[in-house]
Amino acid sequence: LKICVLVKEVPDAAVEKRIDPSTGRLDRSGEKNLNPYDTHAIEAAMQIREGGAVEVDEIVAVTMGPESATRALHKAVSLGADRSVQLTDDALAGSDVAATGYALSKALEKEAPDLVLLGQQSDDGECYTIGAVVADHLKMPSLTQVIKMDVQDGGLRCERQAEYGYDTVQISLPAVISVGDAINEPRYPSLKAIMGARKKPLENVSISDVGIDASEVGEDGSQVNCGDFHDPEAKPPGQIIEDEDTDETVDKIVAWLEERKLI
């Protein structure tokens, strides 16, 4: 079984995110990290490998992004991936979700995985959707927001929470599965794994290397245009109490509640 894990670099959670007014795109400069949701996808791949129900030949981390995204791949490799593939090309800048999913599917097609895993959402923008786009291009069955996944009956038995409760779905391979953060507790990489990550193979590919049609990616190839960024209607900020003396804090909360006739 060959598993590809889609990963993405996102601005570090501690860094304030902003729109670059000159391009209208998310300013992706500043500290970056591996999307935290993706670490759950890598862990899920590792657990399949270690579970022993099926032999895993290879775990490959795949990303699309500028040179800086190499760091996310190193992190992915330190968490267990055997090697990584980076799709980088100036022509990809400004791609919308559909174009990004298309480009990733072409990079994946070349790898021909039996299973594609990814995190259910990214910290910096698009949520829930990229897996479904990739799956349709690869003509594979797909499920998102999976919180339990077992190798069973030659496929995967997946559980997730949907509109009416928990659903259990049996999926044949090859498949595209996005996982939720409840699926596992990602391990911390060992120092040795962190040091060794740079030595694992990292392949750089351009759009022509994987047969991407340049007219279907980038800003011109995208079917949706986002702009007119503006502030939302904000409700006035609430009152904040820093708890120093808990008795005093509680008195303040009770007074606040009484004022509003909530007690």
Q: Does 242 bind other proteins (CB under 8 A)?
A: yes
Which listed residue (15, 54, 169, 194) binds other proteins by CB under 8 A?
169
Which listed residue (5, 91, 115, 140) binds other proteins by CB under 8 A?
140
CA dist 103 to 13, 36, 66, 136, Å?
26, 22, 14, 12
Q: Does 119 bind other proteins (CB under 8 A)?
A: no
Positions in 38-97 near other proteins (CB under 8 A): 96-97
Neighbours of 205 (CB within 10 A): 18
Tokens of 173: 């391979």
The residue range among 79-87, 106-114, 121-129, 205-213 that interacts with other proteins, by the rule CB under 8 A, is 121-129
Tokens of 150: 């077992």
Which listed residue (93, 112, 162, 195) binds other proteins by CB under 8 A?
162
Q: Does 157 bind other proteins (CB under 8 A)?
A: yes
The residue range among 1-9, 31-39, 190-198, 238-246 that interacts with other proteins, by the rule CB under 8 A, is 238-246
Q: Does 249 bind other proteins (CB under 8 A)?
A: yes
Which listed residue (127, 193, 194, 202) binds other proteins by CB under 8 A?
127
CB-wise, 52 or 236, nearer to other proteins? 236
Residues in the chain, total: 263
The residue range among 29-37, 47-55, 69-77, 218-226 that interacts with other proteins, by the rule CB under 8 A, is 218-226
Contact yes or no for 42/79 (Cβ under 8 A): yes
Least Å distance between CB 33 and other proteins? 16
Neighbours of 197 (CB within 10 A): 20
Q: Distance between CA 2 and CA 55 in Å, rounded? A: 9
Q: Distance between CA 241 and CA 22 in Å, rounded? A: 39
Residue 201 gets the label, from left (phi > 0), alpha (psi -120 to 50) or beta, of beta
Tell me how far the alpha carbon of residue 16 is from its chain's centroid: 19
Antiparallel, parallel or unpaired: β 155-162 and 165-172: antiparallel
The residue range among 57-65, 79-87, 159-167, 200-208 that interacts with other proteins, by the rule CB under 8 A, is 159-167
Which listed residue (19, 53, 93, 112) binds other proteins by CB under 8 A?
19
Q: Which amino acid type is present at position 100?
A: T
Antiparallel, parallel or unpaired: β 19-20 and 25-26: antiparallel
- Counting residues that bind other proteins (by CB under 8 A) gives 81
Least Å distance between CB 18 and other proteins? 7
Which listed residue (102, 115, 179, 207) binds other proteins by CB under 8 A?
102
